[in-house]
Structure 1
Amino acid sequence: MFSIFKSDPKKKLNKLLSIKLEEAMQAQRKGDIKKYSELSAEAEKIDKQILQIEAQSTQA
């Protein structure tokens, strides 16, 4: 009934993914490869979560 008030987890994760990728790019530009790899790994985990949500929504 009130589904318009529910937040979209996919939208939230996409925004978080965008932020992580931006931070990773900035770290790479500064030459901080360790930080870049950490942020890239976090971004990859978020991307996997997004793919899982998409897979669940297509099955339903």
Structure 2
Amino acid sequence: MFGLFKKKSKEEALQEKYQKLMEQWHKLSSVNRSESDKIYAEAETVLKSIEALKK
């Protein structure tokens, strides 16, 4: 219950954003290829920033 108001760390927030982008990418991959490529590229930049935080 006390974790309800706990702020997420920057890494946790980026992980959540990455997960959402990958879900969008997967849904769009069979419908709109160019849009899915844009979302995948954005997800890759988020992943790189996550890796940079870990170092």
Which bin holds the TM-score, normalised by the shorter protein? 0.7 to 0.9
Q: % of aligned pairs identical?
A: 18
Moved over 6 A (4+): none
**Residue of structure 2 equivalent to 1:58:** none
Q: Distance in 2 between the 1:6 and 1:15 partners?
A: 13
| TM-score under structure 2 length normalisation | 0.84
In the alignment, residue 36 of structure 1 is paired with which amino acid? S
In the alignment, residue 39 of structure 1 is paired with which amino acid? I
For the pair shown, the structure with the greater C-alpha radius of gyration is: 1
**Residue of structure 1 equivalent to 2:3:** none
| TM-score under structure 1 length normalisation | 0.77
Q: Give runs of aligned pairs for residues 18-57 of structure 1, distance below 5 A.
A: 18-30=19-31, 32-55=32-55
Runs (5+) with no aligned partner, structure 1: 56-60
Q: Distance in 1 between the 2:8 and 2:33 partners?
A: 35
**Relative to total residues, which structure has the larger helix share, 1 or 2?**
1
